[in-house]
Amino acid sequence: MTFASLSKLGTVLGDQSVDADAVWLEGTGHLIAALMSRRLLPSKDIPGFHGDLQLANDLMESCRIAQSTLGGGQTVNGKPLVKGQGLTASTSILNTGFNFNYFPVLHIAATGWYVIGAQGANPMILPNRD
């Protein structure tokens, strides 16, 4: 997922450091959460797709691969972080289209949304308070 259509034009707009194919992992977490909440059946999906749960599982696998391969070598307060502790904001430098970039550094929101989605939770619905 990309943040805005302008993100694909980063190099055209003069930002040579960006990758037009970078993935915004927080947005991927948003999509996983939405798919897990909606749960469209394969029989109701558009041709070529196999339902919300299959797509969500495919996206979660992509996030797991990103988690195991990206974000290494980072430190907090001079102490090294262990690879695999979370997701990075993006898979490579991503131009958002809004005058700032996301970088492949560990990101609490990307990690949080992935966990919300993986648990099949919908943070927009409050639990019953009986």
- Mean pLDDT (whole number) for 60-85: 91
Report which of residues 28 and 125 the model is more confident about. Answer: 28
Identify the helix (H) or strand (E) that includes residue 79.
strand 79-80
Of 55, 57, 64, 120, whose CA–CA distance to 91 is shortest? Answer: 64
Q: For 86-130, write each residue's pLDDT tens digit.
A: 999 999 988 877 778 899 999 999 999 999 999 998 888 877 766
Q: What share of the chain is helix, strand, coil (3-state, %, to 5)?
A: 40, 10, 50
pTM of the complete model: 0.83
Rounded CA-CA distance 104/50 in Å is: 30
What is the structure's pLDDT at 7? 55
20 confidence band (pLDDT: 50, 70, 90): confident
The alpha carbon of residue 64 and the mean position of all alpha carbons in its chain are separated, in whole angstroms, by: 11
Cα distances (Å, whole numbers) of residue 93 to 19, 90, 122, 129: 6, 7, 29, 43
